[in-house]
Amino acid sequence: MLCNLCKENEATVHLTQIVGDKMQKVDLCEACSKEKGVSDPTGFSLADLLLGLGASQEIEKAAADGVELKCPACGFTQSDFKKSGRFGCPECYQTFSDGLEALLKTMHKGTKHAGKVPAALRVVREAKDKLKTLQKKLDKAIAEEDYEAAAQLRDELKHAKEKGGQVSTS
């Protein structure tokens, strides 16, 4: 079996991963595996290797008909992404957001962050979440014609908005 990357040497390192119900397999020779950081002590990333093997197309497809996108903050372009499988700066996620979701689907469990949030942002998010829950409850109360509860919820919502407003305008 030949190495997927250089297509020259015999593959001795075999990597597999299953995302959803799709099995992904990469076979590499020793030299390529070293170069690609397969021996990185913190663990290798198969999706990262697949990026080099064509998965980055999602980003290109997204703007195939237009001019090449370029990040206004750092000057990074789509072809740069194709070359390295890396973005140029945090703003690039905004710049290249069009093809991003399709790309993320090929490598992650979901496309929305579910983990840790920096404490400063957590306050804002909690206030927003509270507003959402109250609004839902209010809609339900109205739908069920429970006007007493609806009136109370409307007060609560108004109160939360005033309080939350102060936090989120920062």
Which one of 4, 29, 62, 85 is in contact with other proteins (CB under 8 A)?
A: 85
Site for other proteins (CB under 8 A): how many residues? 56
7 Rama class: left (phi>0) / alpha (psi -120 to 50) / beta? left
50 is a contact residue toward Zn ion (CB under 5 A): no
Which one of 13, 31, 123, 131 is in contact with other proteins (CB under 8 A)?
A: 13
What are 18's strand-pairing partners? Answer: 23
Q: Which listed option, Zn ion, other proteins, none, makes contact with residue 157 (CB within 5 to 8 Å by class)? A: none
**Count of beta carbons in the 10 Å neighbourhood of residue 37:** 14
Q: Which residue do the tokens 């297509």 mark?
A: 7
Q: CB-based contacts of 2: which residues, under 8 Å, 6+ apart?
A: 8, 9, 10, 11, 27
Which one of 108, 136, 140, 159 is in contact with other proteins (CB under 8 A)?
A: 108
133 is a contact residue toward other proteins (CB under 8 A): no
Chain positions 131 to 170 lying near Zn ion, rule: CB under 5 A, are: none
Q: Measured between alpha carbons, how far is 78 from 83 in angstroms, rounded to an integer?
A: 9
Binding interface with other proteins (CB under 8 A): 12-19, 23, 30, 33-34, 37-48, 51, 73-74, 76, 80, 84-90, 93, 100, 103-104, 107-121, 125
